Structure formats: structure tokens, C-alpha cells
């Protein structure tokens, strides 16, 4: 998948497709996090998959439990490698060393809400 440039436009269909890809990575991280907690208990740090829109992405990000809990506090928040932000579908919420938290906007936010796990509560 090629990177979007400033002159490109993002229609809702493309935004939804990209958000669905991100939702797949979020679901995989939720499963991984749950498995790690079940088998090893709480850990001080986790190696999680980047939840970006790039289909070919294999980037892993290191984070602690507090950061993972924070990114999961809102259904429209995702963790991404800093160079993997797609400004057309997400805003940067937090910059941390090794990963950023982004918030989906527009059509991508609708997909994020509809595909989010429900068990953690809330979440905008």
C-alpha cells in the first residue's frame, strides 16, 4: 500500500477499509494481552503489534501496562509506530517513545467504535 500524500483525498470507503485493517491489529493485540495475562500474570512491559493502516506492517512496539490500559480506554484510540500515522483518518493524542496513540476521526471512528471489544467499559 502506498503512503498518502498531502494532495491525495480520502473518501469514506478508503477510510473504512483502513480502519478495518487497524481493527484487526487491535483485536490481535487484545488477544495477545489477554493470553499473556492468563499465562504469566501482569507484566511490566509488553511487545505489541503496531495497529496502523498499513497492511504489510510488522512493526512491534514496547509499552508498559499503564500505557496499554490508556490506549484501550477509548474505542477510537489505537497505538501506532510514529511513522505510521495517517492524518486523513486519525489525530495524534499522545507521543511516547517508540509509539504514538492516535484517535480515529470521521468514517474511521465509526468503524473503530463498531469493532471495539466491549468488556473494558466505556469508551468514546
Confidence of residue 104 (pLDDT cuts 50, 70, 90): very high
Domain annotation covers residue 122: no
Per DSSP, the three-state class of 4 is coil
> Going edge to edge, which strands form the sheet with 90-96?
77-80, 99-104, 90-96
Degrees (nearest 5) of the Cα angle 102, 111, 21?
70
Domain annotation covers residue 34: yes
Could you write out the three-class secondary structure of 49-99? ECCCCCCCCCCEEEEEHHHHHHHCCCCCEEEECHHHCCCCCEEEEEEECCE
Q: For 21-66, what is each residue's pLDDT tens digit?
A: 777 777 677 777 666 665 666 666 788 889 988 888 889 999 888 8
pLDDT of residue 123: 42
- Number of structural domains, the chain? 1
Is the pLDDT at 69 greater than 80, yes or no? yes
For the whole model, what pTM was predicted? Answer: 0.71
Domain annotation covers residue 120: no
Domain annotation covers residue 41: yes
pLDDT of residue 78: 93
Amino acid at each position: 500500500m502506498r503512503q498518502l500524500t498531502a494532495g491525495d483525498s480520502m473518501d469514506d470507503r478508503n477510510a473504512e477499509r483502513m480502519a478495518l485493517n487497524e481493527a484487526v491489529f487491535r483485536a490481535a493485540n487484545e488477544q495477545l494481552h489477554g493470553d499473556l495475562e492468563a499465562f504469566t500474570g501482569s507484566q511490566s512491559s509488553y511487545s505489541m503489534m503496531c495497529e496502523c493502516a498499513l497492511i504489510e506492517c510488522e512493526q512491534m512496539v514496547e509499552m508498559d501496562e499503564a500505557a496499554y490500559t490508556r490506549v484501550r480506554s477509548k474505542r477510537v484510540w489505537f497505538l501506532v509506530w510514529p511513522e505510521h500515522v495517517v492524518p486523513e483518518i486519525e489525530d495524534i493524542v499522545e507521543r511516547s517513545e517508540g509509539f504514538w496513540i492516535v484517535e480515529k476521526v470521521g468514517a474511521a471512528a465509526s468503524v473503530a467504535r463498531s469493532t471495539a471489544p466491549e468488556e473494558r467499559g466505556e469508551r468514546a
